[in-house]
């Protein structure tokens, strides 16, 4: 079912132009359907703020469960912003105070740029922990993406992420290792997910916190885990929300950092992302960059337009299926009143009945 354009956010027009079904508030009110109110805590830096909106809006809106979606973007004031991003936030985002007052059925928390090895020293740490604590008591289920998962594991379970010898970067194959959980019902048992990180929380750390690992990869580690109760917190280490071009944009950015002398080594290719022809083009481009660098000449333009048409998205369908299961499960156990997380009779320590083996409420 569709997203509801309940505010004048440009993201809605961008998604409508892509063919996404977007309802006006008047049309939504004419349908006898209980809409879900989902918060999006967007902590991404200015350059990625709007793209992150679109990625998560698109993933939720295309997941096709039995609901309309009112998505409420907000951020934390402790993250420094430029003028344009601040204007966007002031015009289109809600305050955390409003979110708390009106309530949410579910919450998505994005990643963020970090500058310190210890997440607890980041400028947004206290504000993020406040959101974690509020959501734990008032939101049916909170879904954390990558950095947000690492932050929650540190804040709630004292599990510190570990630095990797090299960046986990690319599109990796994963396997569903707990096929009995409703979140992975009717999904592919082998699936691809993009990752982009220098750090990892390992399986034994999830298990020490009492969490359940549902999906993991041989090379990329844990992708999907849930809290001890089976549902109230959902954690991704990868990025199923990524667009087809997201890793290309990141590679282009890193090449630019090399050209500008900010990093010492020319960036490697993301794993399992570029085909052989694209890699050949990029090898040729690298040689041209090196020639220009030796001659102290202007570097050649990055051939993005040639590369875009050769990119393939191998992860959206599986991500869409999992998000569809997630919001469908929220719909089945959340209270009609937004400020109450569960229907009467739901055990918050086993809201899906998965731990007890009684999932009859979900049938």
Give catalytic residues, as residue numbers.
146, 239, 241
106-112 sheet: strands from edge to edge: 22-23, 3-4, 69-74, 36-43, 106-112, 141-145, 233-236, 221-226, 212-217, 162-176, 190-200
3-state SS, the chain, equals CCEECCCCCHHHHHHHHCCCCEECHHHHHHCCCCCEEEEEEEECCHHHHHHHHHHHHHHHHCCCCCCCEEEEEECCCCCCCCHHHHHHHHHHCCCHHHHHHHCCCEEEEEEECCCCCCHHHCCCHHHHHHHHHHHHHHCCEEEEECHHHHHHHHHHHCCCCEEEEEEEEEEEEEEECCCCCHHHCCCCCEEEEEEEEEEECCHHHHHHCCCEEEEEECCCEEEEEECCCCCCEEEECCCCCCCCCHHHHHHHHHHHHHHCCCCCCCCCCCECCCCHHHHHHHHHHHHHHHHHHHCCCCCCCCCHHHHHCCCCCCCHHHHHHHHHHHHHHHHHHCCCCCCCCCCCCCCCCCCCCCCCCCCHHHC
CB 139 within 8 A of CB 107: yes
- Whole-angstrom distance, CA of residue 293 vs CA of residue 26: 58
């Amino acid at each position: 079912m569709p997203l509801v354009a309940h505010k004048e956010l440009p993201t809605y027009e961008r998604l409508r132009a892509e063919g996404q079904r977007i309802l006006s508030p008047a049309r939504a009110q004419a349908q006898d359907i209980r809409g879900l109110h989902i918060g999006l805590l967007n902590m991404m830096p200015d350059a990625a703020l709007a793209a992150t909106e679109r990625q998560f809006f698109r993933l939720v809106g295309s997941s096709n469960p039995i609901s309309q979606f009112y998505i409420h973007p907000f951020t934390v004031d402790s993250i420094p912003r430029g003028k344009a991003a601040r204007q966007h936030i002031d015009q289109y985002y809600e305050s955390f105070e409003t979110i708390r007052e009106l309530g949410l059925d579910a919450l998505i928390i994005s990643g963020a740029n970090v500058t310190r090895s210890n997440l607890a020293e980041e400028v947004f740490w206290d504000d993020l922990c406040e959101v974690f604590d509020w959501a734990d008591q008032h939101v049916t289920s909170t879904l954390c993406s990558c950095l947000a998962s690492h932050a929650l594991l540190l804040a709630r379970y004292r599990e510190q992420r570990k630095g990797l010898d090299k960046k986990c970067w690319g599109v990796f194959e994963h396997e569903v290792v707990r096929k009995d959980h409703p979140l992975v019902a009717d999904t592919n048992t082998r699936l691809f997910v993009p990752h982009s990180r220098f750090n990892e929380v390992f399986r034994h750390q999830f298990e020490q916190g009492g969490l359940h690992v549902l999906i993991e990869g041989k090379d990329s580690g844990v992708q999907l885990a849930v809290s001890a109760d089976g549902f109230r917190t959902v954690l991704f280490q990868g990025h199923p929300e990524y667009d087809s071009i997201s890793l290309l944009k990141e590679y282009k950015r890193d090449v630019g950092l090399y050209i500008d002398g900010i990093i010492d080594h020319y960036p490697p290719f993301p794993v399992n992302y570029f085909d052989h022809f694209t890699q050949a083009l990029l090898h040729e481009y690298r040689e041209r960059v090196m020639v220009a660098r030796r001659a102290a000449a202007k570097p050649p333009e990055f051939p993005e337009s040639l590369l875009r048409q050769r990119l393939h998205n191998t992860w959206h369908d599986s991500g869409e299926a999992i998000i569809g299961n997630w919001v469908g499960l929220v719909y089945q156990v959340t209270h009609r009143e937004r400020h109450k997380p569960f229907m009467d009779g739901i055990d918050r320590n086993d809201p899906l009945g998965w731990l007890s083996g009684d999932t009859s409420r979900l049938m």
